[in-house]
């Protein structure tokens, strides 16, 4: 009898993951049947548990169903589309076409805690742009039906209008599960930027307070989006809100941005012998103000140019060693006041010691680019075509990327639209940086009368993919003109992206909800005679196994030959996958000798041979290798 395990082809079980974390912290609250004893938990935490019936919080129709949606694993997959990609085998950038709710579930295993920045521009719920269906009972089927633009009964999906009694609730039911799943993907020092207008800004703030924690709210960024305001309101409305939340606010240590030229020209005006390397400078008093606590080690004399000892009235802001070092390097400015007394100020240069521009705290109002700039960018990439209305300008997204100041981070946008975020990442990387992006976009159909449709773009996803291709081509053309600019591996840009599409699993999965009737069970069994979709390619199956084993979609894959069988080596041999339909003892032994952490084979490759299966299990077990079949 064998004890090999079947591979779980569902997305990560959110409930189980939370339960395991709770078990690590409070193993004593679990009963013999591994259920949670709430009374024990209350006793363990004491007064920290709120047992009252009235408490502060937010509720709305459908909120309870949001948690059911979150907890329901996905059984879909992401299928590679090489023909729509650029540099598929070497790039680490991704474009995923499909409903972002389902995609976020599929990314949970592979990208849990790996995203530094999430940037999203979700539907504002203005009555004509909210197109995500809220029937989530079968989310993948809902998505597939949506792409056909009709529901189960042949009715066309409609927009969410204010006449609907659940106008706000429907929008919140759409956003809550997505934001909940998105938070799981953020790094501990990760940040999310969410665009919104005044229709749902108050609801979004409350949702985010609940999901991210009120203490992790960083600020509102007010973006002045137009230089000439629309006049549809009592006030000329020319701004949007951008809510900024952290996964853990305490870990956000560098939320700054390089000051722009206008900022520096106003503050930095003096020059000295260091101008060539440090730029201009401004000065600040070396003497401490009254707000600084008394410290005796900050009271000492500094020698003036004429040999005079200069003592502070209270104390200096720096210690003696740092003051002497600054004096030696010419970073102190000595001068006499109107009374003829020596004073000292220390210099602040435009550039730091490493030659990079000094970074500054950003303002909560941003007015350096406008919607018109986003439109101009699209027009430059798609001449003579009105392809995408009112896109965000890439300069705005670059501002966010500069705030987090991580040049090697992974960026996610799961309402990617025309792929402005990908544009911003590729543009900033021209300086030699290596940020990576994941774009997720529903293939929302373009209206047949639209210019985009007439130009050959059937969906919004098609526009986004084409924009990335054109940005890549533009950068490559610039490289050709300046061949020496990007010389060397250090400045080698990732000018590509892999395209994946949301599809049903390549495997027929057992439905444990099937009616306990003879005919229904018989139909299920017949389905599993051939449980792999005959239309699925080896690569389709390979990427599904990769994703559901917890490996990123950009993991290095090497094709090997072992005893005349094809074996895929994942992440330099960490996992081996053999999709051959005629396994032999020799290939089993050959894979085991490579000592991977895990081996996956097709169940049908064993042909029901119990002896071969038993030997395979024992060989792998003897080398502490996890052996799974599908």
The answer to whether residue 319 is domain-embedded is: yes
pLDDT over 50 (residue 614): yes
Q: Give the pLDDT score at 21.
A: 84
Inter-residue contact 151 to 144 (CB < 8 Å): no
Q: How far is CA 332 from CA 151, 282, 300, in A?
A: 73, 11, 16
Half-sphere exposure of 124 (CA within 13 A, CB side): 10
Q: Give the pLDDT score at 539.
A: 96
C-alpha 452, offset from chain centre: 28
Q: Give the pLDDT score at 420.
A: 98
Q: Tell me: the pLDDT tens digits for 217-229?
A: 999 999 999 887 6
Q: Give the pLDDT score at 490.
A: 46
* CB-count exposure of residue 564 (10 Å: 0-12, 13-18, 19+): exposed
The backbone torsions φ and ψ at residue 281, rounded to the nearest 5 degrees and listed phi first, read -140, 165
Q: How far is CA 229 from CA 32, 232, 362, 575, in A?
A: 64, 9, 24, 57
Q: Give the pLDDT score at 130.
A: 57
The answer to whether residue 361 is domain-embedded is: no
Query: Which helix (DSSP H) or strand (DSSP E) does residue 500 occupy?
Result: strand 498-504
The answer to whether residue 36 is domain-embedded is: yes
One domain, residues 103 and 45:
no
One domain, residues 61 and 86:
no
According to DSSP, the residues that pair with 97 across neighbouring strands are: 441, 501
Q: What is the CATH number of the domain that holds 469?
A: 3.40.50.150
One domain, residues 284 and 408:
no
Show the domain range for 62.
5-70
Over range 341-367, report the average pLDDT: 88
Say how far apart CA 424 and CA 387 lie, in whole Å: 19
The strand ranges marked E within 121-238 are 186-196, 217-224
Q: What is the 3-state secondary structure (H, E, C) of 280-312?
A: CEEEEECECCCCCCCCHHHCCCEECCCCCEECC
Q: Give the pLDDT score at 488.
A: 46
pLDDT over 60 (residue 512): no
pTM of this prediction?
Answer: 0.84
One domain, residues 427 and 471:
yes
Q: Give the pLDDT score at 155.
A: 47
Identify the domain boundary among 503, 519, 534: 503
For 294-419, where are the alpha helices, taking DSSP H only?
320-328, 371-381, 394-404
Q: Find, among 526, 543, 449, the residue nearest to 88 by Cα.
A: 543
Half-sphere exposure of 67 (CA within 13 A, CB side): 8
Q: Give the pLDDT score at 352.
A: 85
One domain, residues 541 and 489:
no
pLDDT over 50 (residue 1): no
Q: Give the pLDDT score at 197.
A: 93
One domain, residues 108 and 246:
yes
For the ranges 166-170, 371-375, 453-457, the lowest mean pLDDT is seen at 166-170
Sheet holding 115-120, edge to edge: 76-80, 498-504, 94-97, 436-441, 410-413, 115-120, 186-196, 239-246, 217-224, 365-366
Q: Give the pLDDT score at 142.
A: 64
One domain, residues 113 and 14:
no
For the ranges 132-136, 398-402, 582-586, the lowest mean pLDDT is seen at 132-136
The strand ranges marked E within 64-212 are 76-80, 94-97, 115-120, 186-196
One domain, residues 498 and 511:
no
For the chain, how many structural domains are there in total? 4
pLDDT over 80 (residue 148): no
According to DSSP, the residues that pair with 566 across neighbouring strands are: 561
Sequence-distant (6+) residues with CB within 8 A of 445 are 147, 149, 458, 459
The answer to whether residue 236 is domain-embedded is: no
Q: Give the pLDDT score at 386.
A: 85
Identify the domain boundary among 70, 96, 127: 70
The answer to whether residue 313 is domain-embedded is: yes
Q: Tell me: the pLDDT tens digits for 155-175?
A: 445 556 665 657 788 899 999
Say how far apart CA 325 and CA 320 lie, in whole Å: 9
More confident residue, 512 or 626: 626
* CB-count exposure of residue 559 (10 Å: 0-12, 13-18, 19+): exposed
Q: Tell me: the pLDDT tens digits for 105-147?
A: 999 999 999 999 999 999 988 765 555 555 545 566 666 666 6
More confident residue, 42 or 67: 67
Q: Give the pLDDT score at 521.
A: 59
Over range 390-398, report the average pLDDT: 95
pLDDT over 60 (residue 2): no
Q: Give the pLDDT score at 385.
A: 79
Identify the domain boundary among 442, 474, 503: 503
Over range 455-477, report the average pLDDT: 96
One domain, residues 321 and 459:
no
Q: Please, what is the angle between helix 167-185 and helix 63-71, to 10°?
A: 30
One domain, residues 478 and 519:
no
The two structure tokens encoding residue 468: 């990335």
Residues in the chain: 630
Q: What is the 3-state secondary structure (H, E, C) of 529-597?
A: HHCECCCCCHHHHHHHHHHHCCCCCCCCEEEEEECCEEEEEECCCCEEEECCCCCCHHHHHHHHHCCCC
pLDDT classification of 454: cutoffs 50, 70, 90: very high
pLDDT over 60 (residue 482): yes
Over range 35-51, report the average pLDDT: 76
The three-point CA angle 160-163-164 to 5° equals: 55
One domain, residues 102 and 126:
yes
Say how far apart CA 409 and CA 471 lie, in whole Å: 20
Q: Give the pLDDT score at 264.
A: 78
Region of 94 (left: φ > 0; alpha: ψ -120 to 50; beta: rest) is: beta
Q: What does pLDDT average to over the chain? A: 87
The answer to whether residue 422 is domain-embedded is: yes
One domain, residues 385 and 247:
yes
Over range 476-487, report the average pLDDT: 73
Provide, rounded to the nearest whole percent, the portion of the chain with pLDDT above 70: 85
Say how far apart CA 600 and CA 9 lie, in whole Å: 12
The answer to whether residue 543 is domain-embedded is: yes
The two structure tokens encoding residue 54: 């009235």
């Amino acid at each position: 009898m064998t004890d090999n395990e079947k591979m779980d082809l569902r997305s990560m079980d959110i409930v189980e993951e939370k339960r395991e974390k709770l078990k690590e912290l409070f193993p004593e609250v679990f009963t013999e049947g591994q259920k949670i004893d709430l009374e024990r938990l209350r006793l363990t935490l004491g007064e920290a548990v709120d047992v009252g019936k009235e408490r502060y919080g937010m509720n709305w129709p459908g909120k309870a169903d949001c948690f059911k949606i979150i907890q329901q694993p996905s059984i879909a997959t992401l299928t590679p589309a090489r023909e729509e990609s650029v540099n598929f085998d070497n790039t680490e950038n991704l474009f995923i076409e499909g409903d972002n709710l389902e995609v976020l579930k599929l990314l949970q295993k592979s990208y849990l805690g790996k995203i530094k920045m999430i940037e999203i521009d979700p539907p504002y719920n203005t009555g004509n742009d909210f197109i995500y269906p809220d029937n989530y009972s079968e989310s993948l089927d809902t998505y597939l039906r949506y792409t056909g633009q009709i529901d189960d009964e042949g009715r066309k999906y409609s927009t969410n209008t204010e006449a609907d009694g659940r106008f706000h609730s429907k929008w919140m039911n759409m956003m809550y599960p997505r934001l909940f799943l998105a938070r799981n993907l953020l790094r501990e020092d990760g940040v999310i930027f969410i665009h919104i207008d005044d229709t749902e800004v108050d609801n979004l703030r409350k949702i985010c307070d609940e999901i991210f924690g009120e203490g992790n709210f960083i600020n509102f960024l007010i973006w002045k989006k137009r230089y000439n305001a629309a006049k549809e309101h009592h006030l000329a409305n020319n701004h949007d809100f951008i809510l900024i939340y952290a996964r853990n606010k305490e870990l956000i240590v560098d939320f700054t941005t390089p000051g722009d030229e206008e900022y520096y020209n106003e503050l930095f005006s003096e020059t000295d012998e260091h101008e060539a390397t440090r730029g201009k400078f401004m000065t600040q008093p070396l003497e401490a103000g009254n707000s600084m606590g008394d410290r005796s080690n900050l009271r000492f004399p500094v020698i003036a140019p004429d040999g005079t000892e200069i003592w502070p009235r209270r104390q200096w802001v720096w210690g003696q060693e740092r003051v002497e070092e600054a004096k030696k390097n010419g970073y102190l400015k000595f001068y006499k006041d109107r009374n003829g007394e020596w004073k000292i100020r220390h210099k602040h240069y435009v550039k730091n010691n490493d030659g990079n521009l000094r970074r500054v705290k950003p303002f909560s109002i941003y007015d350096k680019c406008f919607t018109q700039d986003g439109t101009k960018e699209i027009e430059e990439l798609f001449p003579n075509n009105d392809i995408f209305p009112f896109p965000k300008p890439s300069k705005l997204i670059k501002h966010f990327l500069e705030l987090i100041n991580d040049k090697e981070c992974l960026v996610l946008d799961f309402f990617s639209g025309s792929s402005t975020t990908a544009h911003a990442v590729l543009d900033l990387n021209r300086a030699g940086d290596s940020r990576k992006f994941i774009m997720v976009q529903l293939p929302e159909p373009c209206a047949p009368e639209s210019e985009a449709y007439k130009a050959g773009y059937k969906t919004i996803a098609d526009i986004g993919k084409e924009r990335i291709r054109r940005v890549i081509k533009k950068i490559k053309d610039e490289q050709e003109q300046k061949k020496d600019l990007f010389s060397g591996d250090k400045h080698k840009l990732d000018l590509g992206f892999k395209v994946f599409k949301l599809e049903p699993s390549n495997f027929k999965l057992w439905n444990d909800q099937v009616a306990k009737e003879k005919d229904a069970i018989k139909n299920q069994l017949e389905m599993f005679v051939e449980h792999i979709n005959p239309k699925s390619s080896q690569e389709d199956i390979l990427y599904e196994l990769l994703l559901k084993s917890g490996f990123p979609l950009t993991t290095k894959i090497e094709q090997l030959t072992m005893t005349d069988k094809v074996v895929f080596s994942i992440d330099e041999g960490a996992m081996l996958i053999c999709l051959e339909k005629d396994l032999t003892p020799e290939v089993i032994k050959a894979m085991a000798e490579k000592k991977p952490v895990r081996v996956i084979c097709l169940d049908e490759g064993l042909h029901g041979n119990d002896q071969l299966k038993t030997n395979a299990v024992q060989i792998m077990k003897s080398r502490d290798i996890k052996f799974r079949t599908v």
